């Protein structure tokens, strides 16, 4: 049984080579993708999005703060998480070989993929070898990163998302906007509309009289997915952790859809970023405390699935593990940037980020949005494209992300480091480069800065009024004054006031009233 191929790709601007099996997402092309500020401006204008995001991120970050406060040893847990990940990354070559050996001994088949294309081809080949043209999927950032669904679609294989939020995104011809809650930008009335419009085209339709009651919406998704679970021969998952010592993969989820995918189909293919490795089973103790509280603000994770290869007569009888690099070894080579590989994809940094809260995930033009995306994506993809160049600047460096990160990734530090990388890679005679060079020279000596102060005083003296209103000069001046007045410089700088004070005989007297 297959789904009705009712969707034509031409509707969504994707070049049509065959009739699509699954809903078409908006195309993502890195070339020509606008910079973050431009994307952000567009998203900021969406009042519904602003309200959905404010509500959702405020709720989850407050809940996280409450459950984290319950643990008196939270800081020690963070330090332990950081230390375990650092040790793993330092010896990743050894642990990966150990992981492969353990997995193989358990009856799993291990594949190595240098990049997205290799990983996708491995999944396509395995699926084809089973003679099926569809797979069910557990929510997985790694498969989003390699754009597996679209690669499978091109190969004539339908990939069905089974996580509720991923299903909403998929049916909505959309892209995820959050690592943990991919449909965070949608509210329940929007979800209802998507279900009514799209569900019936790709399987079991929603029930009559569907309202926007969350329980009813979830019920509709359950019924819709049931049929897909029951007929699936191949499942694709990611993994939160891969234990080198025991050859165990771990998936942490909340809905039970993952458990269905991991146990029902005959063949299971797991796409695992190489940095997901943990040395020993005991290391999980730390992460199973850090992850649920940081991500969903739960004390204990609802569905934790672990499997170590093949168990005869129980669960999938063919277990594949695809270990993916896709830029990770390049990140590992960067002494400052490599800490981004500690990430356990909890999303605490997204939920606390004041920038993310305003603009949402799509503005980042990257599978990984928010603060972690702003440091991970430009490292994985490089900083050649306009959007990737702009991502390290998509932060006010407020530091809230570092405070909540369960593995203590110093995101502001990496952002500034990557900004330096962007600057070093673009040494041309731009206005910014010239301005910064001049500024750097100016600040090298007090006498030079004093001269600049004279100029500022002159400007402050001749400028009429106390403030500077909207300026029609493009660039930074318009950027500032578009919505904000600018104070004019002082008519007497502090240093000139000080010099005068020193000159007057009574040094130290209280004559400082300006």
Identity of the residue, 66 or 448, whose beta carbon is nearer to other proteins in the bound complex = 448
Q: Which residue has the tokens 């934790």?
A: 304
Binding segment for other proteins (CB under 8 A), chosen from 74-82, 145-153, 308-316, 411-419, is 411-419
Q: What angle do CA 118, 120, 123 make, to 5 degrees?
A: 110
Closest by CA position to 196, among listed 169, 162, 220: 220
CA 429 to CA 434: how far, in whole Å?
6
| Minimum distance, C-beta of residue 6 to other proteins, in the bound complex (Å) | 39
Shortest Å distance, C-beta 504 to other proteins: 14
Site for other proteins in 73-132 (CB under 8 A): none
CA atoms 477, 480, 482, 487: torsion sign = negative
User: What is the rounded CA–CA span in Å between residue 386 and residue 28?
Assistant: 14
Nearer to other proteins by Cβ, of 342 and 421: the residue is 421
Is 500 a binder of other proteins (CB under 8 A)?
no
Question: Would you give the DSSP letter of residue 268?
Answer: E
Q: Pick one of 18, 73, 226, 495: the residue that binds other proteins (CB under 8 A).
A: 495
By CB under 8 A, how many residues form the interface with other proteins? 76
> Which residue in the set 24, 36, 251, 293 belongs to the binding site for other proteins (CB under 8 A)?
36
- Near other proteins by CB under 8 A, which window of 87-95, 195-203, 291-299, 504-512? 504-512
Q: Considering only CA atoms, give the Rg of the chain.
A: 27
Length of the chain, in residues: 514
Task: Identify which range of 23-31, 103-111, 263-271, 414-422 contacts other proteins by CB under 8 A.
Answer: 414-422
CA angle 126, 128, 131 (to 5 degrees): 120
Dig out the tokens for 248 from the structure: 């165990």
Chain residues 208-237 in contact with other proteins, contact rule CB under 8 A: none
In the complex, what is the shortest distance from the CB of residue 442 to other proteins, in angstroms, rounded to a whole number? 8
Can you tell me the distance from the alpha carbon of 421 to that of 381, in angstroms, rounded to the nearest whole number? 14
215 vs 483 by CB, closer to other proteins: 483
**Based on CB atoms, which residue is closest to other proteins, 155 or 477?**
477
251 vs 405, beta carbon nearer other proteins: 405
State in angstroms the smallest separation of the CB of 494 from other proteins.
4
Residue 349 CB, shortest distance to other proteins, in Å, is 13
Task: Judge whether 343 and 23 are in contact, CB under 8 Å.
Answer: no
Task: With contacts defined by CB under 8 A, name the span among 9-17, 66-74, 365-373, 495-503 that binds other proteins.
Answer: 495-503
Cα–Cα distance list, 170 to 160, 163, 335, 354, 498 (Å): 8, 10, 37, 27, 65
Residues 497/504, Cβ–Cβ less than 8 Å = no
Q: How many CB atoms lie within 10 A of CB 277?
A: 24
Pick between residue 73 and residue 445 the one whose CB is nearest to other proteins.
445
Among residues 209 and 440, whose Cβ is nearest to other proteins?
A: 440
Nearest to other proteins of 196, 486 (CB atom): 486
Task: Give the three-class secondary structure for 339.
Answer: helix
Q: How far is the CB of 348 from other proteins (least distance, A)?
A: 15
Within 13 Å and on the Cβ side, how many CA atoms surround 374?
33
Helix (H, G, I), strand (E, B) or coil at 447: helix
Nearest CB to other proteins, comparing residues 287 and 402: 402
Q: Does 190 bind other proteins (CB under 8 A)?
A: no
Instruction: Give the three-state DSSP class for 237.
Output: strand
Quick one: angle between helices 92-105 and 74-90, nearest 10? 90
Whichever of 34 and 203 has its CB closer to other proteins, that residue is 34
Cross-strand partners of 393: none
The yes or no reply on residue 37 touching other proteins (CB under 8 A) is yes
Considering only residues 343 to 402 of the shown chain, the ones binding other proteins according to CB under 8 A are: 354-355, 358-359, 392-400, 402
Which residues inside 262-321 make contact with other proteins, applying CB under 8 A? none
Cα separation, 206 vs 213, in Å, equals 13
Q: In angstroms, what is the minimal distance from the CB of 32 to other proteins? A: 20
Three-class DSSP category at 240? coil
Contact 182, 33 (CB under 8 A): no
Phi/psi of residue 158, nearest 5 degrees: -90, 130
Q: With contact defined as beta carbons under 8 Å apart, do 19 and 5 qualify?
A: yes
For other proteins, the binding residues in 427-486 under the rule CB under 8 A are 432, 436-437, 439-450, 452-453, 456, 465-467, 469, 475-476, 479-480, 482-486
Q: How far is the CB of 322 from other proteins (least distance, A)?
A: 36
Cβ neighbours around 374 below 10 Å, total: 30
> Residue 10 CB, nearest distance to other proteins (Å)?
34
Q: Closest CB to other proteins among 36 and 202? A: 36
Q: Using the 8-state DSSP alphabet, how is residue 248 labeled? A: E
Residue 31 CB, nearest distance to other proteins (Å)?
22
Nearest approach, Cβ of residue 468 and other proteins (Å): 8
Question: Within 48-67, which residues bind other proteins (CB under 8 A)?
Answer: 50
Question: CB-wise, 232 or 409, nearer to other proteins?
Answer: 409
CB atoms within 10 A of CB 407: 25
Report in angstroms how near the CB of residue 82 gets to other proteins at its nearest: 18
Residue closer to other proteins, measured from CB, 94 or 425: 425
Q: How far is the CB of 331 from other proteins (least distance, A)?
A: 18
Backbone angles phi, psi at 15, to 5 degrees: -55, 125
């Amino acid at each position: 049984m297959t789904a009705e191929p009712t969707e034509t790709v031409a509707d969504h601007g994707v070049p049509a080579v065959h009739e699509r099996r699954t809903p078409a997402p908006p195309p993502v092309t890195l070339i020509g993708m606008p910079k973050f500020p431009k994307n952000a401006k567009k998203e900021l204008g969406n009042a519904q999005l602003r309200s959905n995001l404010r509500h959702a991120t405020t709720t989850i970050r407050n809940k996280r703060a409450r459950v984290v406060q319950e643990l008196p040893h939270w800081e020690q847990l963070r330090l332990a998480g950081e230390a375990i990940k650092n040790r793993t990354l330092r010896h990743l070559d050894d642990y990966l070989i150990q992981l492969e050996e353990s997995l193989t001994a358990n009856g799993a088949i291990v594949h190595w993929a240098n990049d997205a294309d290799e990983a996708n081809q491995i999944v396509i080949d395995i699926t084809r070898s089973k003679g099926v043209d569809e797979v069910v999927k557990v929510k997985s950032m790694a498969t989003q990163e390699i754009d597996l669904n679209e690669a499978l679609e091109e190969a004539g294989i339908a990939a069905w998302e089974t996580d509720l939020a991923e299903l909403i995104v998929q049916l909505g011809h959309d892209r995820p906007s959050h690592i943990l809650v991919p449909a965070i930008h949608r509210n329940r009335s929007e979800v209802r509309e998507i279900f009514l419009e799209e569900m019936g085209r790709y399987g079991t339709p929603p029930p009559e009289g569907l309202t926007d009651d969350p329980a009813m919406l979830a019920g509709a998704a359950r019924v819709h997915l049931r049929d897909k679970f029951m007929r699936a021969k191949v499942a694709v998952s990611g993994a939160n952790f891969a234990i080198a010592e025991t050859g165990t993969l771990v998936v942490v989820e909340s809905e039970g859809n993952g458990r269905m995918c991991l146990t029902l189909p005959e063949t299971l293919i797991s796409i695992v970023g190489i940095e997901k490795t943990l040395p020993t089973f005991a290391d999980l103790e730390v992460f199973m405390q850090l992850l649920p509280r940081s991500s969903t603000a739960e004390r204990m994770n609802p569905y934790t699935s672990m499997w170590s290869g093949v168990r005869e007569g129980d669960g999938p009888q063919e277990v594949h593990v695809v270990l993916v690099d896709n830029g990770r070894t390049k990140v590992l080579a960067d002494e400052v940037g490599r800490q981004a590989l500690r990430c356990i994809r909890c999303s605490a940094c997204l939920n606390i980020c004041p920038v993310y809260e305003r603009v949402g995930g799509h503005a980042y033009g990257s599978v990984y949005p928010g603060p972690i995306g702003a440091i991970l994506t430009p490292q994985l993809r490089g900083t050649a494209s306009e959007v990737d160049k702009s991502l390290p600047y998509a932060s006010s460096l407020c530091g809230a992300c570092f405070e909540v990160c369960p593995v203590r990734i110093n995101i502001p530090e990496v952002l500034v480091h990557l900004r330096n990388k962007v600057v070093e890679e673009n040494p041309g005679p731009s206005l910014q480069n010239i301005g910064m060079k001049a500024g750097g020279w100016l600040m090298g000596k007090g006498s030079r800065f004093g001269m600049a102060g004279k100029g500022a005083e002159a400007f402050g003296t001749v400028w009429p009024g106390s403030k500077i209103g909207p300026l029609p000069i493009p660039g930074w001046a318009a950027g500032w004054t578009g919505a904000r007045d600018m104070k004019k410089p002082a008519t007497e700088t502090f240093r000139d006031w000080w010099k005068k004070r020193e000159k007057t005989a009574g040094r130290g007297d209280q004559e400082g009233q300006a």
